Amino acid sequence: MKIDSKPQYAPGISEFIDKVNSVYPPDSYKKDVSIQRALYSELGEAFPVPEVTDVSSRDVIVPHFNVEKKMRIYTPKNIKKDGILVYIRGGGFVLGNLETHDKLVAELCSNTGLVTIAADFRMSPESKFPSALEDCYDIINYISLNKEVLNLKGNIVLCGESSGANMIVSLCMLCRDRNGPLISGQALISPLLDFHRWKHGGEDAPLLTGGEMEFYTSCYAKQDELINVFVSPLINGKFHNLPPAYIMGAEVDSLLIDSVEYHNRLQENNIQSELVIEKGLTHAAVRARGVSPDVHDSWIRFCKKAYDLTC
């Protein structure tokens, strides 16, 4: 699925790309990881959004053996119904933290009126696969087993973008295979589901180059693990008995093929799946929700679908 060399961007997206590239240049992946992370954190300041005033948050430590895990619980002022959204951030498993995605998750909580939890996890390359995945599994399991203690009610829906969406698909399979927590839905933005095709780089796309993908791939997993079904679910993954899905793909994104293929595989297994390809949007466009009406609308749709999946 080739990216048009002269794509038709949605309003505001061309300017968004220029602004991102001025803060986080396409060759940033060649810099030291600490510098990459600092630049990535600056992106939030480059695209300010209004403060969310109807949501409170608290951090909770999740005990598990010798590895301390943390999650941030967002509670809306007016809870609309029982239900729990668990958000797993993107960033190539290398970039980001609870702070870089704080406003986005707070908006998800506010827009849905549902308690929303951001899962923190160990980062690559310091901690390779399966560290981040197991951290997220432990957090979801802890939530499921401690709803009363945490003052939580309702079904669990997993939400996230890019590498976070990769873990969501893997978590849905893990929960099924381990007879673990019951997941009621998966809401995905631009999921990355086949690392194997990026091991030697690949096609450049706006805000996601082949060089970046090769770097993230090498950081996350060893070469012989790239075909592991929990690294690259589209390679030999089993998609029976998975929860319903809403998949938001971006038209100008080299990962769009993953969204399409996953949607098709779910349907082949009689799993309810809705795929929406947002016209003129790029990878990571959700960051432009404050400057592009089309992105704003796609984000509102995503929030509504996440809400619906908790039913």
In which band, very low, low, confident or very high, does the pLDDT at 199 lie, cut at 50, 70 and 90? confident
Q: Please state, in angstroms and as integers, the Cα–Cα distance from residue 24 to each residue in 44, 277, 286, following that order.
A: 11, 26, 16
* Domain range summary for the chain, segments of one domain joined by +: 13-309
Residue count of the chain, please give it.
311
- CA gap 201, 145 in Å, rounded: 41
- Contact in structure between 113 and 148 (CB atoms under 8 Å): no
In this prediction, residue 201 carries a pLDDT of 64
Among residues 130, 66, 62, the alpha carbon closest in space to that of 98 is found at 62
Give the containing element (helix H, strand E) for 275: strand 273-282
Q: 71: which strand partners?
A: 60, 119
Q: Taking residues 144-154, what's their average pLDDT?
A: 97
3-state class (DSSP) for residue 301: helix
Measured distance CA(199)–CA(217) in Å, rounded = 6
Peptide bond into 293 cis (omega under 30): no
pLDDT tens, residue by residue, 36-91: 999 999 998 999 999 999 999 999 999 876 788 999 999 999 999 999 999 999 99
Judging by beta carbons within 10 Å of its beta carbon (0-12, 13-18, 19+), is residue 149 exposed, middle or buried?
A: exposed
What band does 231 get if pLDDT is binned at 50, 70 and 90?
very high
Asked if pLDDT for residue 126 goes beyond 70, the answer is yes
pLDDT of residue 63: 86
Please give the C-alpha separations between residue 103 and each of 50, 141, 179, 221, 270, in angstroms, as whole numbers.
9, 25, 33, 29, 35
Residues 6+ apart with CB under 8 A from 6: none
Q: In this predicted structure, what is the pLDDT of residue 51?
A: 95
Q: pLDDT at position 104, please?
A: 98
In contact, 288 and 257? CB cutoff 8 Å: no
The CATH number of 13-309 is 3.40.50.1820
Closest CA to 284 of 111, 164, 168, 158: 164
Measured distance CA(135)–CA(68) in Å, rounded: 9
Query: What are the CA-CA distances from residue 110 to residues 32, 42, 74, 225 (Å)?
Result: 36, 24, 9, 38
On the 0-12 / 13-18 / 19+ scale of CB atoms within 10 A, 85 is buried
What's residue 127's pLDDT? 98
Percent of the chain with pLDDT over 70: 97
pLDDT given at position 310: 97
